[in-house]
Structure formats: C-alpha cells, structure tokens
Amino acid sequence: MSAFARLCAASAATVLVLAGCSSGDSAAPAPEQKGWNDENVTFVADGLTIHGSYRHDAAAPKGPAALLISESGNTDRNGDNAVAGPVGNMRQLADYLSGKNIASLRYDKVGTGATGIGPYAANPASVGSSVYTTGAKAAIRFLAEQPGSAAEALSVFALGEGTVHAMQLAADTGGPRIQALGLLQPLSGRYLDMITNRVNTSVAADVKSGAKTQAQADEVIAAWDKAVDEARTKGTVPAQLPEGLSAVLNPTNVKAVVEADAVDPIALAKRIPAGTPVLLSCSDVDSQAFCDAEKPLIEALGQTALTVVELKGVNHVLRDDPTDNVANYAKQDPISPQLTAALDVFVAKLTAKGG
C-alpha cells in the first residue's frame, strides 16, 4: 500500500462523517469490576436523545468523574468505528478509570450506536461540528448532575478530534467547571490544514518510493488544494477527488468538515484557565499526532499545568503498534502501558481532589 493510500485509510477512519453507524454493540455492558458497572443512560441535546454508558459504583461515596469523548465522526461510545471496526479503546479507558475509583460517562455521538441520527434524518448533511459540541456540553451537564459526581473533580478525556470539544468545555465559563483535561493524540491545528499537511507528506513519500511521478503528485496536490479552497469559501466540494480523498471530503460531510475546520485548537488552548492540569499525549508513529506537530499546541497550553507524554511505537488508538495501521485498530490489545503509567500519576491527583 502506498503512503497516500494509507493516508486516505487513516483519514477516513477519523473524518467527520455520518455514513453509517458504528460496528460495535454499544449497549453491551462492560464486565463487572468491584461493584462498578455500566448503566445505560440518556440525555437530550437540542432535540437529539443521546445514549451513553455511565460507569459508576452506586454504593461508592461522591467522588471524581470523567467525561470520555471519542474520536471524530462515526465513532461510538466505545471507540468503535464503521471504518476501523470494534476498536473498544474508550471502553478500556472507562475500565481503567473505574479501577482508579473514577466514574465516567461515554456516549454515542450523533449518527452512531443507539443514538442514531434522530431529528437529522431528513437532512444528514446539516450535522456539523456544532452538533457534536452541543452533545458534549449536554453530556458534561448530565455527568455533573449525577449524585456520585463531585463538582470540584470533573475531568474530560478525549481522543483525536474529540479533544477540540474537550477544550471547548474547559474554556466554557457558562458550563460545569472542568478541573482537568486528558488530551490524547489531539488535533493540533485547523482540520483541513492538518489533512493538507498529510496529503503533502504522503504524496512526497510516494514520489520518493516510485509509486508516483512528480507530475502525478502535483495533480493530486492541486486537486486537493482547490477542493479545500472551495470548501472554505463556498461550502461546497467536487463530487469526486483523486485517489480516495473523497472519503475525507465530500458533499455529504462538507458542512461538518468546514465547521470543524473553522475551530482553531491553538486559540482554544489559550482560553483554558491557567493552572488547569492537562495531560497531552503524542506519538512518534501516529501520523495524526506526531510529537513535532503538537509543538504549537503544547506552546499554546503554556498557562496550564501541562504534562506531555511522548509515546514510542503507540498508534492512534492508544495501543502498542509501530505500524499505526488502521487494519490493526480493532485488535483487542490493551491500552499501551506507556500511557497508563502516565495516567497513573495524572489521575492520582484527581482522586485526591475528589476523595
């Protein structure tokens, strides 16, 4: 597989789309763990009934609680994705947190799992980034209202593009106060700029390997650049783009992509209250969150109490896999011990605050 083909596969797994529901069984409860169980819950966000799993111990005293936000697009409460398959990493993160006496809420975003598309069925293309943000805001309010949640110890852990919504919650002075953030493999720049950088890098690799001529590479880059300009200026996009890029940007998802692209993670990071504990992970093999690419976001988080974890050989779904191949995302390997070791230190502070 060429570098460009791998780019398209990875981008399709995380792009903002509503083309189908998640592949996993979102309603299946996690295994029991010392009284900690998943309770199927619902809450409403602007007319959409959102289904989720509230993982808690009903007999436990009030304590810290965390909202988990999955990757972008058609990724459900468990991290399962219609493209990548039953990934299950967010369910594993909930299991990890309950082992640390932290309750959690994870949920099926619009277009996935039990939530489905709801009132947007008549016009799926109307679903944009703001719908996902509204869902996240409703979720954190629901979590804050639970009797077992300590208001002084609410945190948000998010993966990939989900970190944008996590930072929006932290910067929102009108919602529940977020005491800590886990930004796992975060989006570090405007959405379409990130994809453009990947296109340029991947096409260059194909030229170097002989998979493409320079003329072919130039055609792909020109077509993509033109599509990005059209999306940003007109809100439309060509029906077909070369070599699989229509999986990333197409007439069905252009509204969502343009809304996501309008949000600047760097600007959001600067709005997070000073002193907020933040854990940011990046990886030397994750093409969506290379550590070098995260440097502007890391700098923008300078006012926070920031911990940066540079993972080695860890893929985008938080597991040890130096190939970062989308075909391996659904393997039921554990979350990387490199990450859990960092989480051990980070969540110990949350437990102390909420205990």
Q: Which amino acid type is present at position 290?
A: F
**Which tokens go with 261?**
């692209």
pLDDT for the residue 201: 85
Distance separating alpha carbons of residues 195 and 249, to the nearest angstrom: 10
In percent, how much of the chain has pLDDT > 70?
Answer: 90
* Mean pLDDT, residues 109-132 taken together: 90
pLDDT for the residue 354: 55
Residues of the chain with CATH 3.40.50.1820: 23-189+264-354
- Whole-angstrom Cα Rg for the chain: 19
pLDDT for the residue 11: 55
Best CA proximity match to 148, nearest among 67, 64, 69, 91: 64
pLDDT for the residue 72: 81
pLDDT digits (tens, 9 = 90+) for 31-64: 444 589 999 999 999 999 999 999 999 998 999 9
Contact 180, 92 (CB under 8 A): no
Best CA proximity match to 102, nearest among 164, 33, 167: 33
pLDDT digits (tens, 9 = 90+) for 144-158: 999 999 989 999 999
In angstroms, the first-to-last Cα distance of the chain is 51
pLDDT for the residue 244: 83
Pairing of strands 48-56, 37-45: antiparallel
Contact 220, 211 (CB under 8 A): no
Contact 124, 86 (CB under 8 A): no
Question: pTM of the prediction?
Answer: 0.86
Mean pLDDT (the chain, rounded): 89
Distance separating alpha carbons of residues 122 and 351, to the nearest angstrom: 44
* pLDDT band of 24, cuts 50, 70, 90: very low
pLDDT for the residue 115: 97
Of the two residues 233 and 123, the one the predictor is more confident about is 233
Which CATH fold would you assign to the domain 23-189+264-354?
Rossmann fold (3.40.50)
From the centroid of its chain, how far is CA 54? 19
Q: Please list, residue by residue across 215-239, b when 16 or more beta carbons sit within 10 angstroms of its beta carbon and e when fewer do.
A: ebbeebbebbeebbeebeeeeebbe
